[in-house]
Structure 1
Amino acid sequence: MAINGYSPITSSLYTPGVNSASQSLASGQRINQTADDAAGQAVVTSLTSQINTQDMATRNANSGISALQTVDGASESIATYLQRMNELAIQSANGTLNNSQRSALNQEFQQNLQGINQVAESTSFNNQNLLNGDTASLNIALGDSTTTLNLPNLTSNGLAINGLDISNPTGATSALGSITTALEQISTQRGEFGAQQNGLSSAINNIQSQNSNAYAARSQINDSDYARSITEQVRQNILQDSAVAMQGQSNQSRASVLQLLNS
């Protein structure tokens, strides 16, 4: 006659619960697989996509600010050249100077003109020329929207000062008007650079505010509640240990019966 033991509780019954609690503690995430919370996982995936998009938008905006800072610094150098050229033109227009002296002033004047072209031709960001007319604008991707950075041509041609000559009073007087106009153009353009930087900074602040909210929402859904997870892990361990003890007691009882029957 066979003796069948009935043991409805086994240690394997609680193994998944122990593993789930341990995984939650180890990963720091409440949802480690879709089965843990299918609806929650869908929301977490959507929020993660939003966060990644906003992180990249912030990086793009910061790159745009760096490009604007580059062109603004170059514009300041060009303005310095123009201011010196303005001084030389005023000096050359003075009737007390002779032709030799005006020729010497014109040499420095032409060197400054070349310096403007060198700055405009060499100003670049990520191998893109920014002030010589090659790149008229840069589109900055900000996630669901874009903003356009307008870039000027600040070469001597773009500033309409190419071919100026102050070797005589008439040329010096004519150059003064062109240089004044070029300085006004530089001043206006630098103001636009500053406004564009402020616009990108505001966009970054707005994106980061949205990002913080998205992070918080994802954290509430997906992050582990460590106090609850530890409590659940302890509970599952106790249940598992109890099941092992009960299984051992059941085996001992069956062994006692067999020993009694064999005696």
Structure 2
Amino acid sequence: MKINSGNNILNQTLGQQDNLFKKLATAKRINSAADDAAGLQIATQLSSQINAREQGARNVYDGISLARVYDQGLQAIQENLQELNVLTIQAGNGIYNAGDRQALQQQADQLLDNIQQTIESTEFAGKGVFTQGGEITFGTGDSSLSLNTEDIATVLNDNNLFDFNLTDSSQLTAALESVQQSLQQLGGLRADAGATINAFEAAISVMDRQRISESEARSRIEDLDFAKATSQQVANDILTQSSISVAIQGRVQQQQAIRILGG
């Protein structure tokens, strides 16, 4: 019985040592349901939530990038409109003749071409930013955030911007109203884009805090306490060596008894 008891202790100790080596190798306290079934289930749920938040944050970062491209395009158009505004006021100078106004019109046409090119070429992920308006949604996992964009060509056409004429002094008032109304509308769109960027960044900040809290909770459940595990390993080493000595001694005693009985 003593020999069997010594072997049982040795087998148990070796099994514990093997399990401990796995934990040290993975730095995880829980490597299977056998280690802690309830803890594994909770850690798995937390991992799912963490992964969802990480993807949600990536979605919102894409939204921020799109909003910034949208705002930068609006800024470029706004800058051309500012120059058109100056040219329109300049064209109202009474000392300018027809040739002077024609020169101003050529400058205005170049600015209008710049605006058209910005509308057509501003893209994000291969899609036109200004060619169609609407709501673009970015899922966060728990909810969603949206960026509203405008079809800028339609907005400017509604203001008759592309019928801009500086050669006819009777149309200068209409031209000035067109430019200033367009500037006001684009200013409002830029303000909306800026507010959206701020909202997206605030949402990411919340998601990051939640993800960090959940990661800490998961770590407390499944991560290994290295100090405790190392101490346990040392204790198991001592117990293993003792069990081996006991088993060897038991076998020697058994062999001696067999020889005596056989003699």
1:57 alignment counterpart? 56
Offset of 1:122 from its aligned partner? Answer: 0.9
Counterpart CA distance in 2 for 1:29 and 1:160 is: 67
Q: 2:161 is paired with a residue of what secondary structure?
A: coil
Residues 216-249 of structure 1: CA deviation (Å, up to 9, x unaligned): 1101101101111112222222222222111110
Q: How many matched pairs?
A: 259
Match of 1:140 among 138, 143, 152: 138
Aligned-residue Cα RMSD (Å) equals 1.6
TM-score w.r.t. the length of structure 2 is: 0.93
1:150 alignment counterpart? 148
For 2:152, give the aligned amino acid.
L
TM-score w.r.t. the length of structure 1 is: 0.93
Paired residues of 2:135 and 2:147 also in contact (CA < 8 A): yes
Q: 2:152 is paired with a residue of what secondary structure?
A: coil
Paired residues of 1:5 and 1:254 also in contact (CA < 8 A): no
- For structure 1, list consecutive stretches of 5 or more residues without a partner in the other structure: none
Paired residues of 1:92 and 1:166 also in contact (CA < 8 A): yes
Residues 31-71 of structure 1: CA deviation (Å, up to 9, x unaligned): 00011000001100100000001111111111111111111
Counterpart CA distance in 2 for 1:113 and 1:225 is: 67
Counterpart CA distance in 2 for 1:151 and 1:124 is: 13
Identity level (%)? 30
Match of 1:7 among 4, 8, 11: 4
Residues 125-148 of structure 1: CA deviation (Å, up to 9, x unaligned): 11121112x242210111110111
Offset of 1:6 from its aligned partner? Answer: 4.1
Residues 81-132 of structure 1: CA deviation (Å, up to 9, x unaligned): 0011111111112221111111111011011111111111111111121112
Matches within 5 A, 1:217-256: 217-256=217-256
Indicate how the Cα distance of structure 1 residues 166 and 223 shifts in structure 2: closer, same or farther if over 3 A, else same: same
Indicate how the Cα distance of structure 1 residues 259 and 223 shifts in structure 2: closer, same or farther if over 3 A, else same: same
Could you list the runs of 4 or more consecutive aligned residues of structure 1 that deviate by over 4 angstroms after TM superposition? none
Q: 2:178 is paired with a residue of what secondary structure?
A: helix
Offset of 1:261 from its aligned partner? Answer: 4.3
Q: 1:35 is paired with a residue of what secondary structure?
A: coil
Matches within 5 A, 1:1-263: 6-10=3-7, 11-132=10-131, 134-155=132-153, 156-157=156-157, 160-262=160-262
For 1:145, give the aligned amino acid.
S
- For structure 2, list consecutive stretches of 5 or more residues without a partner in the other structure: none
